[in-house]
Amino acid sequence: MPRAENDQTIITDRGEGGETQQRGGAPLTTNHGVPIPDNQNSLKAGARGPTLLEDFVLREKIFHFDHERIPERIVHARGTGAHGYFECTDPIPDLTIAQPFQEKGGKVPVFVRFSTVAGSKGSKDTPRDVRGFAVKFYTEDGNWDLVGNNIPVFFIQDAMKFPDLIHSVKPEADRGFPQAASAHDTFWDFVSLMPESIHMILWAMSDRAIPRSLRMMDGFGVHTFRLVNAKGKAVFVKFHWRAKLRCQSTTWDEAVKISGADPDYHRRDLWEAITAGDFPEWELGLQIFDEEFAASQPYDVLDATKIIPEEDVPLRVVGRLVLDRWVDNFFAETEQVAFLPSNVIPGIDFSEDPLLQGRLFSYLDTQKSRLGTTNFHQIPVNAPKCPMHNFQRDGLMQTLVPTGRANYEPNSLAEAGEDPGPRPAEHAFRTHPVATEGKLRARSETFADHYSQARLFYRSQTAPEQAHIVKAITFELSKVDLPHVRLRALASLRNVDEDMALAIADGVGVELPEALEPAKAPIDMPASDALSMHLTATQVPKGRTVGVLLTDGADGEALKKLRAAAKKAGVTVKLVAPKRGGVTLASGETVEVDGQLEGMPSVLFDAVAILAADASLDRVPAARDFVADAFAHLKAIVATKEAGGLLDAAGVEKDAFVFEAAKEPEAAVLRAHERLWDREQA
């Protein structure tokens, strides 16, 4: 008799087989649906006898466990993902037939995966690294994968160099370290020999590479693509994802300490935001330009180491991306999702960017290697949500069941009254024709200027941002043991900015070498405010988190005001205490806290409030660190009068971001999105 889907099994305290009491849940079965009465004990020849090979339940369970890991991604191994949708806000049917851009208010389901690049799957969330930003659109015309990063340029111009780049930044081959780090000999040896990398180096050494949150970083398609309209006319396009919360970073010391306190910091932050209904959001902005504009620029738009300044081609915002659902199973979705830059739809086409051209091959090859089959597109997270028809058949892990004789094309089976299968479509992807030259292995002379845009980026930063770049490169080169590599890197950096190179040389403790002779003399381009995180920062605290350190007897009114301000501003408040249990306020009310002091240091928050009722925290080392780190990381601090001794012990000096709880308890909320950069200079 068939089992009902809602059949509930109840196991009593202890049966003769040693079962433990469990209640509820669907009936347990093997992978083939055979009901299992006991999942605790293997089949034995007697209670103390040997296990029998006959036990197919045990063998299946162990066999599956032994094979439940698949090869991790060679790059972008550590990532996290979520479901959501893309909504068109400004249709552009005159520019493209791409389905997501045809109708205002039209929505397309998406899956988005964020990742670090260099580290392994088991590394941390907060290293200094590029972040992957990959979006899979499930459109009516098939899947479109926009696979980019949180930085708009890349290290190299041609895919031929990609294996070398990744080999250089991965743990060194003879020793297996450092993990998830570029501060070592082989990476800097490679990039110092590749002047085309210098622009990306400046971005990677900037605060963009240590984001505060995945919700607070932009994304870029990196390459130049084409939009194609119904008449076959094409224009160039660059894709930009602009975070609604705008970009914010951690400080370097903060990033290092976060990795110890919570190596899953970014993953947890994204999960908490989505589960709380505070859905992360980005605008999709397009830079659209034609062949004439491209030909008139002092750089090549097909060069992935170059940007187009937004002052020259402003962003046209055409839609928004919202993430509103966490995955049901991390492995099945986030680990098995396969992004392919070659997944484009009618209305989107490639450019001749040589780095992009290499990616079109590499990603497909990688997915077959990782997922073990050409049928990886049948995995639910990869499967299109529109009809799919072709004559591809069989293969490992085939789950579809095609019918009929037609498995080839052309065929004339329709004349015999049989299903002939699919036919070429009228509404279809069509490659835009481009004039080409003869075959040769060469690099275009238009790719030869390696320093102008690196100079543009550095000189577009504020003084604190420039100081952070200097400190980052100094730190990285201090980890390089080969003297000639340090000198060669400095020789290249002189072509970007003389003062920057001099400060780094001083920090490393070497004489500044002669500048490297550039292949093409750099030019000075007008500064771009759009390249500075500080100049484009948000003016509201929405999406940030405030940590409130409480003791027994704390002022409930101050906490109430702080929480009210947080609710109004869209800020999360987390309560911290010396012990995980509740805290009794001065009113006698007991409140539950979110974490214990040593387990929730201030590096996990954007601002802090110390609502101490007495001097009990003054001699607690974790409390001193809580306050000292918040001050060192330039955050707003609200404190009661009773916490004065703690602030003194932590070395806090009164400034514009230190507030009295009795007067301004809300200040921790209202300033949570800001850092006091003047404090850093002091």
Of 143, 149, 150, 382, the catalytic one is: 149
Q: Decide if 504 contacts 486 (C-beta within 8 A).
A: no
Report the C-alpha gap between 565 and 292 in whole angstroms: 52
Distance CA 460, CA 301 (A): 20
Spell out the residues 6+ positions from residue 314 whose beta carbon is closer than 8 angstroms to its own. Answer: 287
End-to-end CA distance of the chain: 79
Q: Is 149 a known active-site residue?
A: yes
**What's the Rg (C-alpha) of the chain?**
29
Residue 212 vs residues 249, 269, 541: alpha-carbon distances, Å? 4, 10, 13
Q: Within 509-600, where are the H helices?
A: 556-569
| CA–centroid distance for 510 within its chain | 36
**Distance (Å, whole) CA 591 – CA 593:** 6
Strand-pairing partners, residue 234, are 228
Q: Which two tokens stand for residue 325?
A: 């659902």
Give the whole-angstrom CA distance, residue 637 versus residue 619. 19
Residue whose structure tokens are 């000999």: 185
Amino acid in the structure at residue 41: N
Helices (H) and strands (E) in the chain, counts: 18, 20
Strands 316-326 and 79-88: antiparallel
Q: Which two tokens mark 434?
A: 């481009």
382 is catalytic: no
Question: In whole angstroms, how far apart are CA 500 and each of 184, 192, 353, 459?
Answer: 21, 16, 31, 10
Q: How far apart are CA 578 and CA 550, in angstroms?
A: 8
Cα-to-chain-centroid distance, residue 57: 40
- The interaxial angle of helices 252-261 and 621-632, nearest 10 deg, is 140
The C-alpha atoms of residue 35 and residue 29 are separated, in whole angstroms, by: 4
E strands, 592-651, are 595-596, 607-611, 637-639
Q: Which of 76, 83, 184, 673 is catalytic?
A: 76
Q: If you search the block for the tokens 């370290």, which residue do you land on?
A: 177
Element (H, E) at 110: strand 107-116
Compute, in degrees rounded to 10, the torsion defined by CA atoms 271, 277, 278, 284.
Answer: 90
Looking at residue 77, the DSSP 8-state letter turns out to be -
Give CA 209 to chain center in angstroms.
10
Q: Is there a contact between 569 and 540 (Cβ–Cβ < 8 Å)?
A: yes
Contacts 24+ apart (CB under 8 A), 388-393: 388/142, 389/421, 389/422, 390/422, 391/421, 391/422
Q: Find, among 595, 76, 566, the residue nearest to 363 by Cα.
A: 76
CB 524 within 8 A of CB 585: no
Q: Determine the Cα–Cα distance for residues 381 and 71; give it in Å rounded to an integer.
A: 18
Residues 270/545, Cβ–Cβ less than 8 Å: no
- Any residues with CB less than 8 A from the CB of 367 and at least 6 apart, and which? 338, 340, 376
The token duo for 294 is 């491209």
Query: So which residues are the catalytic ones?
Result: 76, 149
